[in-house]
Amino acid sequence: MPAADTAEQLSAARLEVKRARDLLEAPSPGSLEASSSALERAVSGLNSCRRGMRPGLTDADLIAKVRQLRTELRHAGRLLESAADFYRGWERILGVMSGGYTAGGEPARVARTGRVHCEG
């Protein structure tokens, strides 16, 4: 695959990660789902890019594109971790409110019903 095509695919993947990051900055169920779709598109683009790359490729533009992508991924990763921490905190509060504390002083576990999510 020519370096220009690879650079274009890396840029497209970075834009999808940025789109996901922007969505994660205002979390809601809809934005979380949309960010997941954007990240899936980024992964798909990266897989296509990876299959077309030649070993030992050292094009300076490609290296810069990879660094930009890495930066976006770090930002998105931090936002996802913050969202997970937020929901874990609410789960602890819900456990205390609905079941009190365990003998060890931890919030009671929240009973969950099973869920199945299918897409066709």
pLDDT tens per residue, range 87-118: 888 888 888 888 888 888 888 777 766 666 66
Instruction: Write the pLDDT tens digit of every residue in 16-66.
Output: 999 999 988 887 878 888 888 898 989 888 888 877 776 665 677 778 888
Q: What total of structural domains would you count in the chain?
A: 1
- What integer best gives the mean pLDDT of the chain? 81
Q: Is residue 119 part of a domain?
A: no
pLDDT of residue 111: 72
b/e per residue, 21-60, with b = 16+ CB within 10 A? Answer: bbbbeebeeeeeebbeebbebbeebbebbeeeeeeeeeee
Task: Identify the DSSP state of 119.
Answer: -
Residue whose C-alpha is closest to residue 12's, from 59, 36, 47, 54: 47
In a domain, 108, yes or no: no
Q: Tokens 């840029």, residue?
A: 11
Task: State the residue range of the domain holding 20.
Answer: 3-99
Let me know if residue 116 belongs to a domain.
no
Residue 111 lies in a domain: no
**Residue 106 placed within a domain:** no
Q: Residue 66 falls within a domain, yes or no? A: yes
Overall pTM surpassing 0.75 (yes/no): no
In a domain, 72, yes or no: yes
Residue 47 belongs to some domain of the structure = yes
